Structure 1
């Protein structure tokens, strides 16, 4: 009995300190394992795909996106994986032969089939959005617009994707989705940063969208869009000017110079030595200028250039109407526009024109940019043709006008000053994705932008490291105590043999 009592006294598990140490050790081990697994869990990455067709006035482009499948409505980043430019003009150009509008999409859609894994094609949303070109056709001839869409839908439904329809975007939608795209790609939405305004320029329309300090949308509700994105509320000002894309404004400017119906027109927006025979019927075919055709005009006219930037700028200014404004402030044509503030991203034709002219660097003062453009416009046509032999003649001939229009639109139209001009950044892509409305449109239709803030890791990195260190030290100390307690003690009594 005395021997059993002695063994019981020596058993460390009967000591309170040992029991407490064991409990602490278990807690520390469980905590370490749990936190490590949650913080560092890895899942085999699978992706979902989406396809958006941008049916613009001058061409159609196909954009293919993907995002992590397990984070569809959480923190998954939607990114562009491929794009394809459709050969030929925009679908609005096929109003007289709608069947060709659908056929023109075939090559790019076949490319999309090669990009999207066959096992995921049935669940991949396919969307077509048409912009200002089809707005003009719809305005002029609804039945022709419907025929084009029927042909396009029939062609797209032949491919093994989840077709979600084709429709005309309103100008407000185009501007708002462009704003969403720019700020989403630049991580300004989920981090609660100051947003960037969006400037979009196409062939038939132009859009401006931004958040203005103190603007609540009450003065002009038609130009207001309210979003709740990532837990933040945004009241966005957006407006689209139909007929103010660069191609249609060229028609407006030429219409102003051909009102006499003469057979010869001198144009300061085209280079000295440039000469082209144009048809009056082609110039005035657009709804933007059709009502302005002079009576009794000739069939054709000779369009020749004089290459004078200042005179070109004066001609472009005349396409803006500043004579009336029924609001506290306006941009042009009597359209309300709140105070500009913050940075702006200018994309689409803004970028392509200014990039060709080497004017995308807005750290260059506005006056210097105007001087450089004036020098370019004064370059003889024959010199330009030799310097840029691979550039399409149509584009090369119009860069002087387009550049002048862009600088005039920004300053005389949207009221950017020499100082605020530096807040504009001409962009083509953000993080390998094209800037434009297509990504924002897909995010909206597939509910990919969470209304609330995304989930984060269980612990911030600093907290995770600190917890791991504390738990490791605690476990080490308790194990050291356990070893110390269990260590056999030397007897002070001599052993009896």
Structure 2
């Protein structure tokens, strides 16, 4: 075979090899692109769900929470998907007709069925937590309380969810879970940041919860709750004042002014020109005031407003006992409270009251806040109704007292000053979820907040990629160096002639 023919065949094979390598390279590139595109395509998210009913003293709200189903409990973030306010009063108001307490829940529970995928219904835990309204009913009439719970349980069990029962939360639980919710939604627990205190004001009770360096639980163990969350220990001070929610406080204020059973009172916490005839029996129907009912009082009394903020504050202060404190320091009624520390989130009625006055911005000086509420209280009732046509009268009539009570509770009761008042943030929602105890309650019952911090790889993802790239580059450089070192030695071999 001639040398020329051999060279042609070698060139043909050489060209064929190049073509084959080129085709393989193109296929490899296409395969790489396809893998990258497919791998990084957005996948439909799968979620798990939980339902919590907040059965408060004045109303019930159904909350639906969702979190990523494919993530472990220590990485999936629970957020509020939907909420529904149950029509009518709180379940404790149905003591005489308990079956109505269950029926009232049906409309909102049907909404829950629609908002949760059907295939997830059976796996969705359903909880009902009752707060101060049911605490009071339980104190007043245990059998009526049991009947109300039986009625709501029978109704909730007719829905296709995993019903976990109904129970009364203690005041300590309500305060502690509110604190968990606020700090969980603000990502303070997972990141180990300074925590935010929680101020909760309902219709029948109020709670204060915060972490203080001055509090180790030894002086008042009953106000101490210890959490270990994401590897961090928290010693929480929390206290709940039963009967000191805004609605029951109003009853106590009226009871204070009617102790002698007069046929008429002039109330500084209601607007001038406000006049209503009220029944003594309805005023004193709560355990918070029932033992103070005056003997021999008439059936009715005339309730007239005079609208005086300073005098209203005096009435509110009469509800607080500051005369004795067996501890190093107290808030009100002889209850121990350590020094206030850090920022506070104030929610529930705190927010709604201050939002009505357009005073949720705490950069407004406390004196200015007081002046605005004082002007409102002094405004004649007819003008107040004209200026607020969209608000139901049963709510509108209570804002003078509610605003005065809120400020007096914060300053005289909890010891906030003109300087520390600005540390309060009035909040309704945090990142789309309502502030309140319900989310913290569900997180606790579903064990979604681990005691220990989740395990993490030794290197973060960016560091891992950087290390791999450095090692690959180093190997390529070493390969080229070895190839270069071998090639000259091969070229220096003696030729055979």
CA distance in 2, matches of 1:402, 1:464: 57
**Correspondence for 1:117:** 117
Deviation of 1:454 (Å): 2.2
Question: What is the TM-score normalised by the length of structure 2?
Answer: 0.88
Deviation of 1:55 (Å): 0.1
Give aligned pairs, total.
Answer: 459
Q: Does structure 1 residue 200 correspond to structure 2 residue 200? A: yes
**Correspondence for 2:388:** 388
Please list, as runs of the form range in 1=range in 2, the aligned pairs for 1:447-462 lying within 5 A after superposition: 447-456=447-456, 459-462=459-462
Deviation of 1:342 (Å): 0.8
Task: Work out whether residues 75 and 455 of structure 1, in 8 Å CA contact, stay in contact via their aligned partners in 2.
Answer: no
Task: Report Cα offsets for 1:430-488 as digits up to 9, x if no partner.
Answer: 11110000001101111111000123466325423532441453354346447757879
Deviation of 1:263 (Å): 2.1
40 and 377 in structure 1: CA distance in 2 versus 1, 3 angstrom threshold: same
Please list, as runs of the form range in 1=range in 2, the aligned pairs for 1:343-422 lying within 5 A after superposition: 343-422=343-422
CA distance in 2, matches of 1:388, 1:73: 47
Task: Work out whether residues 224 and 237 of structure 1, in 8 Å CA contact, stay in contact via their aligned partners in 2.
Answer: yes
Question: What is the TM-score normalised by the length of structure 1?
Answer: 0.88
Secondary structure in 2 matching 1:129: strand
CA distance in 2, matches of 1:222, 1:40: 53
Deviation of 1:132 (Å): 0.2
Q: Does structure 1 residue 220 correspond to structure 2 residue 216? A: no
224 and 483 in structure 1: CA distance in 2 versus 1, 3 angstrom threshold: same
**Correspondence for 1:94:** 94
CA distance in 1, matches of 2:328, 2:301: 43
CA distance in 1, matches of 2:66, 2:444: 15
Secondary structure in 1 matching 2:173: helix
Secondary structure in 2 matching 1:337: coil
Task: Report Cα offsets for 1:262-305 as digits up to 9, x if no partner.
Answer: 22211111111122221111111111001111111111122121
**Correspondence for 2:325:** 325
CA distance in 2, matches of 1:273, 1:202: 28
Secondary structure in 2 matching 1:71: coil
Extract unaligned runs of 5+ from structure 1: 1-35
**Correspondence for 1:170:** 170
Q: Does structure 1 residue 82 correspond to structure 2 residue 116? A: no
Task: Work out whether residues 190 and 454 of structure 1, in 8 Å CA contact, stay in contact via their aligned partners in 2.
Answer: no
Which structure exhibits the higher relative contact order, with contacts defined as CA atoms closer than 8 Å and separated by 6 or more residues?
1
59 and 235 in structure 1: CA distance in 2 versus 1, 3 angstrom threshold: same
448 and 439 in structure 1: CA distance in 2 versus 1, 3 angstrom threshold: same
Secondary structure in 2 matching 1:133: helix
Task: Work out whether residues 45 and 68 of structure 1, in 8 Å CA contact, stay in contact via their aligned partners in 2.
Answer: yes
Stretch deviating more after TM superposition (302-311 or 483-492):
483-492
Q: Does structure 1 residue 191 correspond to structure 2 residue 213? A: no
Secondary structure in 1 matching 2:241: strand
Task: Report Cα offsets for 1:85-138 as digits up to 9, x if no partner.
Answer: 000000000000000000000000000011111111101100000000000000
Which 4+ stretches in 1 moved above 6 angstroms? 39-43, 485-496
Stretch deviating more after TM superposition (72-81 or 427-436):
72-81
Deviation of 1:330 (Å): 0.8
Stretch deviating more after TM superposition (293-302 or 163-172):
293-302
Deviation of 1:46 (Å): 1.8
CA distance in 1, matches of 2:43, 2:230: 24
**Correspondence for 1:73:** 73
CA distance in 2, matches of 1:457, 1:41: 25
**Correspondence for 2:26:** none
CA distance in 1, matches of 2:192, 2:222: 26
CA distance in 2, matches of 1:244, 1:311: 19
**Correspondence for 1:50:** 50
Deviation of 1:366 (Å): 1.0
CA distance in 1, matches of 2:476, 2:303: 88
Task: Report Cα offsets for 1:344-393 as digits up to 9, x if no partner.
Answer: 11000000001111111111111111111111211221122111111010
